[in-house]
Structure 1
Amino acid sequence: MDNKASQLELIKLSKCYGKVTAVDAINLTIPSGSYCCLLGPSGCGKTSTLRMIAGHESASDGDILLGDRNITELPAAERGTAMMFQSYALFPHLSVLDNVAFSLKMKGVDRQARHSRAQALLERVAMGPYASRKPSELSGGQQQRVALARALITEPRVLLLDEPLSALDPFLRIRMRAELKRWQSELGFTFVHVTHSQEEAMALADQVVVMNAGRIEQVATPHQLFNAPATEFVARFMGGHNVLTLGAQRISVRADRMQLTREPLVGSECVRAQVAAVEYQGTYVLVELAHDAISEFSVMVPEREFFAAPWQPGDQVHANWVSTDVHALA
Structure 2
Amino acid sequence: MVIAIGFEGSANKLGVGIVRDGVVLSNCRQTYITPPGEGFLPRETAQHHRSVILAVLSQALQEAAVMPEQIDIVCYTKGPGMASPLQTVAVVARTIAQLWNKPIIGVNHCIGHIEMGRLITGSDNPTVLYVSGGNTQVIAYSRNRYRIFGETIDIAIGNCLDRFARVLKLSNDPSPGYNIEKLAKEGKKLLPLPYVVKGMDVSFSGILSYIQKQSHQLLNSGKYSPEDLCFSLQETLFAMLVEITERAMAHCGSQEVLIVGGVGCNMRLQEMMGAMCDERGAKLFATDERFCIDNGVMIAQAGLEMFKSGNVTKWHDTTVTQRYRTDAVEVTWR
Q: Same fold (TM over 0.5)?
A: no
Using CA pairs under 8 Å that are at least 6 residues apart, name the structure with larger relative contact order, 1 or 2: 2
Q: Report the structure, 1 or 2, having the larger strand content.
A: 1
Question: Which structure has the greater CA radius of gyration?
Answer: 1
TM-score (norm 2): 0.27
TM-score (norm 1): 0.27
